[in-house]
Chain A
């Protein structure tokens, strides 16, 4: 299944870059049932990593309790306008995606 692009925004102010990412993902918990009472299998992002010019600035492990279309915001020191910030994730089905944005 094709994955949908993330929406990432990165802006630098006073030497600190703020990154906000909205990831398009179902984040199915594996606890819900469909109309026929069959359990919908869990499908969620397990790992997410953010890099700035190739250097890791945040790595996280997510569980099923993270909301659908996960939102993530964090700040790191450094970064200049035009630098690349990339966010990649991997889910429990082995799918992955990376999106990149230039710091505004």
Chain B
């Protein structure tokens, strides 16, 4: 808990602090449409994104799985899924290391919803994709490299 407080203090400006607090679960975000975590989505590097999400040092876990193709022919539509076998999983996020902004999406799971979400993301290039999962006040991480033959962020 003290670590998190340090991070919150270091993050600085008001909005960022609120975002970090919400992400860390210290402030419960509104039930319906929570405030979009701008700091996390605009963070460029993995480290900054994790910090904005309040997950400074996530542990690797075999109980978290990231599903997706080994090779994605079309980077504009890459199907990925996150599953977690950790009890009490409340948050799951998908991060793509080499995208302009690492965070693709994050989901909040109320009790009763299974820790199993699938979606589709864009990838600019071959990159490691991370599944970040929050259970209790701990963060866990799983990685998979997805090779992209045709980037999805060009114009």
Contact = CB atoms under 8 A, between A and B. Distances in A.
Task: Classify the interface of chain A: helix, strand, loop or mixed.
Answer: strand
B110 A71 contact: no
Interface residues of A, number: 36
B31 interface: yes
A58 B110 contact: yes
B55 to A, nearest CB: 15
B112 A78 contact: yes
Given A58-B117, A70-B120, A31 B107 contact: no
Contact of B121 (A33, A65, A78): A65
B118 interface: yes
A7 interface: no
A103 to B, nearest CB: 15
Given A31-B153, A63-B105, A71-B119, 6 more contacts: A29-B122, A61-B106, A64-B41, A67-B152, A68-B76, A72-B117
Interface of B: 31-34, 36-37, 41, 76-79, 81, 96, 99-101, 103-110, 112-114, 116-123, 152-155
